[in-house]
Structure 1
Amino acid sequence: MSDSPFRTEPDPRDRAPQFVLPLVVRIERAAPPARTDALETAARAVLVLLADERSAGDGVWAGAVRDWQDARIRKVVRRARGAEWRRAEALPGITVTGKTAEVRVFPPVPLDGWPRDLARLQVSGTDLDDPEPPPAADPSAPVLWLNPELEMSAGKAMAQAGHGAQLAWWELSGEERAAWRDAGFPLAVRTAEPARWPGLTAAGLPLVRDAGFTEIAPGSCTVVADHPALR
């Protein structure tokens, strides 16, 4: 993905080696996933990778995860089907399954060093729909609230939801992280009511501000991570 024309000011993090977290969503022609389920599955996939023992300490992915987190926390969602998906599944990573969605998350890779079988996958074409409006979110569970004023493709929104989940993860204690992990990382992704959005952004909860590489202007507030432990 190239830098957005919205970018105007250099960021100190740009001086560090740049890594990206690849996520691949399975989109078969005959049975595409529901949009909200894809967003929620992508957010859980990020959490599953962060909680995996291979991402911590001396784990095989730990160095790449540290390098990724030291620069910009980039995530890119690509789509695959059929043989493309099977090739993606053969690479080191973790597949997370939702009600209708399958998302595979991979350890971070250099921005210009994607594995060939992932680099050839398309970023565009992730425009998904919900066949029915999602139910109201459980107020006792973590909710990732999307900005109602922004239009994002499903792929972009999946990356933003994953970022929101990651910010919440960073804010939790070790005990709180373990409880969330052991419960299977329950969460919901919903678009906030316009009247509620200003209050959410002012509540002191983890807030995603997009870097502006694609689709939206830099600094745009995209997601508020409303975890019960952080209220």
Structure 2
Amino acid sequence: MTTTPNRDAAPQYVLPLVVRLERDAPPSRTAALEAAAQAVPAFLADERSVGDGEWAERITAWTDGRIRKVVRRARGAEWRRASALDGLTWEHDGAEVRVFPPVPLDGWPKDLARLQVSGTDLTDPEPPPAPGPGVPVLWLNPELDMTAGKAMAQVGHGAQLAWLRLGDEARVRWAADGFPLAVRTASAADWPALTRGDLPLVRDAGFTEIAPGSCTVVADVPELRGGYA
């Protein structure tokens, strides 16, 4: 008989993500969400995260508990200080996100702990185009109203679940292509069918903004429907 591990009983770690929000040139909301989503599998695929890599032990401690992510914002000198810390910066379509090795829930480095969580309300200057054919899509729940920071954490979860479900060869191809993906809000008509399938689905723990157990993201990856090309 197998038992389900009690993730709440394990020491709790969090994956910090920091988005660069310069006052005069903020990224679009979609670019920031896509950058955060791409940054997570890029971090997990990094040589420092696997095997005997320097981040691997902390990643194991993090995934043994609840896989929490917190997004904070930085600009100017704050961003430069954050960029000097150990981590990985991902750039996408004018957005920059830096991911840091997991830290204890109450043990953030001071240069990250002082950064603000609020204030990540970004907008799109125009509706994003339809995703290209064969591109993995992270579909957001159309019934939930989330700040950009909250949504960035959720799509990061979705990308991580997709990464964990992919086979080794598909992971290699996705990484070699630069982790192409799109983040879009599903239509109210399509959302129920997305959640009824076998695709990776994110349910929020309810620590901030939305009710516990809310379905936030579905990761629609071609490999999980029959083959990532």
Name the TM-score class by shorter chain: over 0.9
Worse-matched range after superposition: 208-217 or 131-140: 131-140
Counterpart position of 2:209? 215
| Structure-to-structure mapping, 1:141-220, within 5 angstroms | 141-220=135-214
Amino acid at match of 1:197: W
Tell me the residue number matched to 1:99.
Answer: 93
Match of 1:169, as an amino acid? W
Specify the SS of the correspondent of 1:12.
coil
The answer to whether residue 33 in structure 2 is matched with residue 39 in structure 1 is yes
Question: In structure 2, how many angstroms separate the alpha carbons of the residues matched to 1:18 and 1:203?
Answer: 30
Q: Distance in 2 between matches of 1:91 and 1:133?
A: 35
> Alpha-carbon deviations, 1:1-52, whole Å to 9, x = none?
xxxxxxxxxx931110000000000001101110000000000110110000
Flag the structure with more relative contact order, 1 or 2, with Cα contacts below 8 A and sequence separation at least 6: 1
Task: Give the match for residue 3 of structure 1.
Answer: none
After superposition, the CA RMSD in angstroms is 0.9
**Equivalent AA in structure 1 for residue 19 of structure 2:** V
Describe the superposition over 1:85-136 as per-residue Cα deviations: whole angstroms up to 9, x where unpaired. Answer: 0000000001100111100000100001100000000000000000111001
Percent sequence identity over matched residues? 74
Q: Partner letter of residue 106 of structure 2? A: D
1:7 match: none
Q: Distance in 1 between matches of 2:134 and 2:48?
A: 30
Rounded Cα–Cα distance in structure 2 between residues aligned with 1:44 and 1:173: 18
Which of the numbers 63, 69, 76 marks the counterpart of 1:69? 63
CA offsets, 1:32-77, max 9 Å, x none? 1100000000001101100001111111000000110110000000
Match among 107, 113, 119 for residue 119 of structure 1: 113
| Aligned counterparts of 1:107 and 1:171: Cα–Cα separation in 2 | 22
- Give the TM-score normalised by structure 2: 0.95
Once residues 90 and 8 of structure 2 are traced to their aligned partners in structure 1, the CA distance between those partners, rounded to angstroms, is 30
Instruction: For residue 165 of structure 1, report the CA deviation from its aligned partner.
Output: 0.3
CA distance in 2, matches of 1:225, 1:121: 29
Tell me, in whole angstroms, the C-alpha distance in 2 between the residues paired with 1:13 and 1:174. 26
> Structure 1 counterpart of 2:156, which letter?
G
The letter for the 2-side match of 1:125 is: G
CA distance in 2, matches of 1:57, 1:162: 22
CA distance in 2 between counterparts of 1:12 and 1:210 reads 17
Report the 3-state secondary structure (helix = DSSP H, G, I; strand = E; otherwise coil) of the residue aligned with 2:18. Answer: strand
Deviating 4+ runs (over 2 angstroms)? none
Structure 1, unmatched stretches of 5+, are 1-10
Cα offset, 1:139, TM superposition: 3.6
Question: Tell me, what secondary structure is at the counterpart of 2:175?
Answer: helix
